[in-house]
Structure 1
Amino acid sequence: MVSKQLKWMYLFILSLIWGSSFILIKKGLVGLTAFQLGSLRIIFAALFLFLIGFKSLFKIQRHQWKFIALTSLFGTFIPAYFFAIAETQIDSSITAILNSLTPLNALIIGATFFGITFHKNQIWGVIVGLVGCLLLVFNGAVNHPEQNYYFAILVLIASICYAINVNLIKRYLSDLTSLSITTGNFLILLFPALVILFFTDFFEVVHVEKVQHSLWFILILGIVGTGIANVIFFKLIQISSPVFATSVTYLIPVVAIFWGLLDNEVLTSVQCIGAFIILIGVYLSAKK
């Protein structure tokens, strides 16, 4: 009973944190490039996690490091850069809505590669979700010609990466603490993130006021939206199922749209219908 209440509490907290992440990315891109933002997000999260979780690294067995590496790649590295690149072209609220396809992808990948059983209503959920996604993207492309909706493909790829990540954790890393998994992930990611940052012009422009202002948004994004959120998320995966854990994306768009509207983003009525259709598809896919 306690575990059931705990998983719903984790789900609600994550929806608030990750729902706010998209507007933080948008604000960070005011002074930073997408690659600078993705790298700094990882670096800030890594430094924070080393402070609180360094000792937890010793709980990771040698044979588990390959799965830690895979989850770091799919769960953080690729999405961190792809979301930042996508938001250089499309609104933060649209990005959050497209991210809600993650449970559908978790179900498809789980059934295909991890032996999760498909049910009839879940197949319909996948179809309905894809229809909503196409409606959202194509209508956005028509009504917002100044935005390049081809970049929505990057969000879809990131959601597939998240889906792979949750299935890997559930199958291979359930016996580790969420802090061990998260700290291990960022130990692996710190060096490549530093290398990518080095090859940008960040150190030449870091003194610029606009860049320094953006850094505060990414500091929050790295520590809270990445470090703390991943610890909570991995714990949620361990006490629930991959599909339930990724169902946090039901609620993320609500929070993200709220922030987007405050920042003068506009959704057309057709896009709202598309978003609603996606959520129906996600609900069907997660329904037992």
Structure 2
Amino acid sequence: MGNTNKKWFYLAILSLIWGSSFILIKKGLVGLTDYQLGSARIVLTSIFLFSVGFKSLKQIQKRHWKWIAISGFISSFFPPFLFAMAQNEIDSAVASILNSIVPLNTVIVGTTLFGILSSRRQIVGVFIGLAGTILLILAGAEFNPNQNYWYSLLIIAATIGYSLNVNIIKKYLSDISALAVTTGNFLFIFFPALLVLYVTGFFETIFSSSEMQVAFIYVAILSLFGTAIAKVLFNKLVQIASPVFASSVTYIMPIVAVLWGVVDGESFSIWQLVAAAVILFGVYLGNKKKVNR
């Protein structure tokens, strides 16, 4: 399978996996706190990765380690906590829609920090996407007044971390395997996450609470598929495609997540759907290649 076919295959699989992650986070929060869910997700993912990817660490050279560490914290340590905290207050489908601004942030970060020039179309797409984001937050706050939409800012912060990460991988880590990058990431964040999990009292209560045990199963599924396997696939996608194409996985994720949300009883206003369409149009415009005539 050539790189062109591979990148579309990876994109489809990642969209399905990550689109389902938001409902798994929601189910996990039924029995776990946001800090327990975030740290347990990292710890479990680390165990999975170390068991299959530890030997790949020999590929990492001295010049890589700094970027491996930065990549690990901004893309794999902070986001699990930020999403869990946000989904305590807002619906899972809304969280997935907000996550779709990753490609827009990738354009902004690439231009401002990595010297990657943006076209006028991309700049327009960024502003359209930001306008859609604001509309989604305002519409959601009106339609669901019991939800605190200020927590949407946590998801936006996570998307900035993701955007930094794809540019770092493309510029500094493309010459080592995706498994080595991912395993190296979790080598740095495993012990901080384990400490957080211990401080939350997780180990003292998990064996006496059936609700926590069920939630933990959801987190285990999320960790294996939504983090461990998906991270390796995503890092591979970044290496064989452009950062913006890789971040375009967020095109399809909201569709999967919204369907899961509807199945789980979540509801949306017409203005939320309009806002979602505006965001996705902005993302599309920001990623559309200029046609040579």
TM over 0.5: yes
Quote the Cα distance in structure 2 between the aligned partners of 1:231 and 1:240.
14
Match of 2:12 in 1: 12
Match of 1:49 in 2: 49
TM superposition outliers: structure 1 runs of 4+ over 2 Å: none
- C-alpha separation in 1, matches of 2:116 and 2:6: 24
- State the distance in 1 between where 2:2 and 2:54 align: 29
CA distance in 2, matches of 1:40, 1:136: 30
Aligned residue pairs total 288
Letter in 2 for 1:276: A
Q: Which runs of 5+ in 2 are unaligned?
A: none
Q: Using the aligned pairs only, state the percent identity.
A: 52
Aligned counterparts of 2:41 and 2:95: Cα–Cα separation in 1: 18
User: What TM-score comes out, normalization by structure 2 length?
Assistant: 0.97
Residue 269 of structure 2: aligned partner:
268
- Distance, in Å, in 2 between the alignment partners of 1:47 and 1:224 is 13
Comparing 198-207 and 120-129, the one that deviates more: 198-207
Q: Determine the structure 2 residue equivalent to 1:220.
A: 221
Within 5 Å, give how 1:246-265 maps onto structure 2. Answer: 246-265=247-266
What amino acid sits opposite 2:232 in the alignment? V
2:284 aligned residue:
283
Which residues of 2 match residues 1-288 of structure 1 at below 5 A?
Answer: 2-207=2-207, 208-288=209-289
Q: Secondary structure at the match of 1:117?
A: coil
Which amino acid in structure 2 is aligned with residue 6 of structure 1? Answer: K
CA RMSD of aligned residues (A): 0.7
| Cα distance in 2, alignment partners of residues 127 and 53 from structure 1 | 40
Q: 1:115: Cα distance to partner?
A: 1.3
Rounded to whole Å, the distance in 1 between the matches of 2:65 and 2:75 is 15
How far does the alpha carbon of each residue in 1:5-31 deviate from its partner, in whole angstroms, 9 at most, with x for none?
Answer: 110000000000000000000000000
**Take 2:82 and 2:267, find their aligned partners in 1: how far apart are those partners?**
22
Which amino acid is 2:43 matched to? I
Q: Deviations over 1:54-101 (max 9, x none)?
A: 100111002211100000011111111000000000000000000000
State the 1:204 CA deviation: 2.3
C-alpha displacement at 1:143, in angstroms? 1.3
Question: SS of 2:30's equivalent?
Answer: coil
CA drift of 1:147 comes to: 0.3
What TM-score results when the alignment is normalised by the length of structure 1? 0.99
